[in-house]
């Protein structure tokens, strides 16, 4: 699957098959994260691959009722080091959220290309996730990503174009509100 097809097929999967992911596939996904770009190449991140079923269950319980998270055979806990991130980001303070978003987006697209489903999880109890995973206080848990084969393979299909905003609403040329025309 090429990158354009992966982009069209990537969607949030909330039901996973009871099927393991091969070590070879997991190695590919780790390499995608390892080679992702970051501001000034600071790479202010640490990724925990959670495979233990007991830990996955506990993480699922800390995701504001999103218990499907624990059904995935792998949960990636994407952590960032704010003090190691690029600092001159205008009003953002530092690049840690942006850097992790770029890396995790690479991960979700690569997973899609491998026939796997993912879901960005932003609603979780960060403090208790940190306690559970022994994450230092100064490290930020940016997102959690369950990864697994979809319960229904038909879940990975191209996004319905009619559900997307038209280009005239989201693109401009040379200034805000000036149509591409």
What average pLDDT does the segment 6-14 reach? 91
Q: Enumerate the β-bridge partners of residue 79.
A: 46, 141
Q: How confident is the model at residue 150 (pLDDT cuts 50, 70, 90)?
A: very high
CB-neighbour burial class of residue 50 (10 A; exposed 0-12, middle 13-18, buried 19+) = buried
Residue range 107-124, pLDDT digits in tens: 999 999 999 999 999 999
Compute CA distances 53 → 4, 15, 57, 111, whole Å.
34, 16, 6, 20
Q: CA–CA separation, 66 vs 64, rounded Å?
A: 6
What is the predicted pLDDT for the residue at 180?
Answer: 86
- Asked if 36 and 29 count as a contact pair (C-beta separation under 8 A), the reply is no
For residue 66, the model assigns a pLDDT of: 94
What confidence tens digit (pLDDT) does each residue in 15-74 have? 999 999 999 999 999 999 999 999 999 899 999 999 999 999 999 999 999 999 999 999
CATH fold for domain 3-169? NADH Oxidase (3.40.109)
d(CA 178, CA 171): 8
Long-range contacts of 84-93 (CB under 8 A, 24+ apart): 84/42, 84/44, 85/38, 85/39, 85/42, 85/44, 86/38, 86/39, 86/40, 86/42, 86/44, 89/39
**Which 8-state DSSP code applies to residue 6?**
H
Look up tokens 């100064």; give the residue.
138
pLDDT at 91 over 70: no
Question: Considering the entire predicted model, what is its pTM?
Answer: 0.91
Of the candidates 116, 97, 96, the residue with the CA atom closest to the CA atom of residue 107: 116
């Amino acid at each position: 699957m090429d990158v354009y097809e992966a982009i069209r097929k990537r969607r949030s999967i909330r039901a996973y098959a009871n099927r393991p992911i091969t070590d070879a596939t997991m190695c590919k996904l780790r390499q995608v994260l390892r080679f992702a770009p970051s501001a000034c190449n600071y790479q202010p991140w640490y990724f925990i691959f959670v495979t233990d079923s007991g830990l996955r269950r506990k993480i699922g319980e800390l995701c504001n009722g999103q218990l499907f998270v624990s059904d995935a055979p792998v949960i990636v806990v994407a952590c960032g080091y704010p003090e190691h991130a690029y600092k001159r980001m205008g009003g953002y303070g530092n690049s840690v959220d942006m850097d992790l978003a770029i890396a995790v987006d690479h991960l979700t697209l690569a997973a899609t290309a491998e026939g796997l489903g993912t879901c960005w999880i932003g609603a979780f109890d960060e403090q208790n996730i940190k306690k559970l995973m022994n994450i230092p206080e100064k490290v930020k848990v940016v997102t959690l990503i369950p990864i697994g084969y979809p319960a229904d393979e038909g879940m990975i299909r191209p996004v319905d174009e009619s559900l997307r905003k038209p280009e005239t609403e989201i693109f401009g040329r040379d200034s805000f509100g000036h149509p591409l025309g």
